[in-house]
Structure 1
Amino acid sequence: MRAFIFPGQGSQAKGMGKELFDKYPELVEKADKILGYSIKELCLEDPENKLNNTQYTQPALYTVNALSYYDEVDTSGEKPDFLAGHSLGEYNALLAAGCFDFEAGLKLVKKRGELMSQVKDGAMAAIMNSSKAEIEQILADNNLTNVDLANYNSPTQIVISGASDEIAAAKSVFSFGKVLFYPLNTSGAFHSRFMQESRDKFRTYAKRFKYAEPQIPVISNVTAEPYKEGELITNLPEQISSTVMWSDSILHLLSIDKDMEFKEIGHGNVLTKLVAGIKRHVKKEQQAQAQAQAKNNTRTEPVKAAEQAEPTAQPKAAAVSHDSVVEKVKAWNAKHPVGTKVKSSMPGYEALETRSEAVVLFSHRAAVYMKGYNGYFDLDEIQAL
């Protein structure tokens, strides 16, 4: 299976889309009429240094992402099995899924960028090599109460967003060991509680448009799951002030197909690098769990002679069927809601809390995602408290 993923704000650069504007002149002309300026000039020359300003960045990225998608489809003749986009990029995923046309999407993005750019006195920073639970604890211990977790980009990269003074103060408390702190060049505290006014205004504007249900599954930033019927008008405004669940979105796709092919559509390779990091983390988790399980299964007693029969005399273990795993997942979800407290049989993980419904992972594992741990546990390894 294959997923197309579209980048968002932060991937822009002067010169992006150079080979595309002349290839799709009609769409470029429509964009210029909607925006009131030359999108080609903004992206290729940026004479007034506006490309990094949110209200210009978002329409520019949306346009380049859209032209890149049309070019990919025109060239290859193939469409993806799944779609996802990082923040602004989700609009391109929904465009590709047939939820609205190019013009409607650009109008939505233009308004979104304008509203988000009006929010001042906020800042954002990326925290590297620290977990969600650790970040939340450090923020609480240092009384940084006006900071939210904005982006779960990968298990080792989380973005915080909030009041400018508290983001500045966070630099010193997140500079230890392998933990790194990177201030981001943004004009506001995006994807945080400080965007609620922009969210509400955008919701009012978004109701002017008609939307179709996705023709290709689109993973929502808000839920990290495919859009359900009727969710679009709810999730798009909510996305402005809620956490971007990017890492969980990729994990969801990998749970559908462990060999999922990801192709970044647009400028740069920011998302390609994040996906590679998420895959490495999943592999390490699997290795660690396998080692822990092997350790638990190691028998300390001598093997009795009666247990040393010829292998041919022993019945072969039945392969776990996909249907049985699906039933196990259904049974768990029917009985245990998200947020259930559990304990694990693995040492060191006695107190956990689920942060998702159980899913069929890699076609043969019944697993559930754990809050704070940033990883999946097999249902056979845990017990509800």
Structure 2
Amino acid sequence: MTKTAWVFPGQGSQAIGMGADLYSLAAAQAKFQQAEQILGWSVPEICQNLDDKVSRTLYTQPCLYVIESILADLMRDRGEQPDLVAGHSLGEYVALYVAGVFDFESGLRLVKRRAELMDAASEGVMAALLGFDREQLEQQIAQTPDVVLANDNNAGQVVISGSIEAVDAILANVKAKRAVKLNVSGAFHSPLMAGAAAEFQEVLDQVEFRAARVPVLSNVDPTPATDAEVLKDRLNRQMTGSVRWREISLQMPEAGIERVVEVGPGKVLTGIIKRTCPTLALVNVSTLSELPTPAPVA
């Protein structure tokens, strides 16, 4: 059997109309209704809103969690199972759900609070850099207070996060093929999120974590783990810690993974992974039509 990892994208992969082909499925309808009771608003309505409400953090994170969870459930209904899971930022919550660490409702309640706190963040900015000198970037970050490497996606694509002045200083001093500030409310995955992280911990402490059924590679510590307390501690550090996706990608071949399935809208993660691990077979499941054929009944 080919060892397979499932990966789940985070904020930035959302799109107007995502999940539209799921609305008519009875199993999906049940999840959407459950989500509406928890959230107080409709995931399908937000995703179909032409004013791009789905790109506001408050809505983006719960919408991605719900749609990715439904797709993962449909995968499992068809006889598919991962040998390893990982998620990019928000996607880590879906990975933990799929690994059986908490149930759908508990995960969505965590994501709802996380989205509220991050949407309310107003301090700092984030910027993406593509095609840069890594050594120069790391030197500049080390010399500049109040800025960190927030997302280390692959060798040529990163996101920095910090105060406006610090991020501007990095952009002025590091040559890059492309550098762009992100349309987010605050400096996510940086120490500037410490206040929000402290509030979030109060909610996280109330959720019981179970041992994972399959190993999870966490954003802040990209080594396989199944222990409930370890996974909870890692998630607790995620809001202020860096997303170490390049290292997560490198861990997959080390763990014997040969195939990676990105479950969720878009092809962000497979595009990132391809550069780091070109030998891995990459598959995308973002719509019903991309789901695998159901396994034959014996």
Return the letter of the residue paired with 2:47. Answer: C
Partner of 2:254: 255
2:119/2:185 contact within 8 Å kept? yes
Structure 2 CA distance for aligned equivalents of residues 106 and 5 of structure 1: 18
Q: CA deviation at 1:221?
A: 0.8
SS at match of 2:265: coil
SS at match of 2:67: helix
Return the letter of the residue paired with 2:20. Answer: K
2:84/2:216 contact within 8 Å kept? yes
Higher relative contact order (CA 8 A, sep 6+): 2
Q: CA deviation at 1:227?
A: 2.4
Partner of 1:275: 273
Structure 1 CA distance for aligned equivalents of residues 141 and 238 of structure 2: 23
- Percent sequence identity is 38
1:6/1:264 contact within 8 Å kept? yes
Partner of 2:231: 232
Structure 2 CA distance for aligned equivalents of residues 281 and 196 of structure 1: 38
Deviations 1:178-205 (A, max 9, x none): x431221111100001011111111111
Q: CA deviation at 1:211?
A: 1.4
- Bigger Cα Rg: 1
TM-score norm. by structure 1 comes to: 0.68
Structure 2 CA distance for aligned equivalents of residues 7 and 247 of structure 1: 14
SS at match of 1:208: coil
1:7/1:89 contact within 8 Å kept? yes
Q: CA deviation at 1:175?
A: 3.3
Q: 1:68 aligns with which of 61, 71, 83?
A: 71
SS at match of 2:213: coil
Return the letter of the residue paired with 2:53. Answer: K
Map 1:144-293 → 2, pairs under 5 A: 144-175=144-175, 179-229=177-227, 230-257=229-256, 260-280=258-278
Q: 2:111 aligns with which of 109, 112, 131?
A: 109
Q: CA deviation at 1:225?
A: 0.9
Partner of 1:10: 12
1:97/1:216 contact within 8 Å kept? yes
Deviations 1:60-97 (A, max 9, x none): 110111111112222x3110111110010000000001
Partner of 2:292: none
TM-score norm. by structure 2 comes to: 0.87
> In the alignment, is residue 29 of structure 1 matched against residue 28 of structure 2?
no
Q: 1:53 aligns with which of 32, 49, 56?
A: 56
Q: CA deviation at 1:147?
A: 0.9
Structure 2 CA distance for aligned equivalents of residues 139 and 250 of structure 1: 23
Q: CA deviation at 1:173?
A: 2.0
2:189/2:243 contact within 8 Å kept? yes
Partner of 1:374: none
2:85/2:216 contact within 8 Å kept? yes
Return the letter of the residue paired with 2:165. Answer: D
Q: CA deviation at 1:45?
A: 2.3
Partner of 1:368: none
| Structure 2 unmatched runs, 5+ | 281-298
Deviations 1:108-166 (A, max 9, x none): 0000111112211311111222354321212355xx32111101101111110011233
Q: 2:47 aligns with which of 38, 43, 47?
A: 43
SS at match of 2:21: coil
The number of equivalent residue pairs is 275
2:127/2:182 contact within 8 Å kept? yes
Structure 1 CA distance for aligned equivalents of residues 66 and 211 of structure 2: 22
Structure 2 CA distance for aligned equivalents of residues 163 and 281 of structure 1: 38
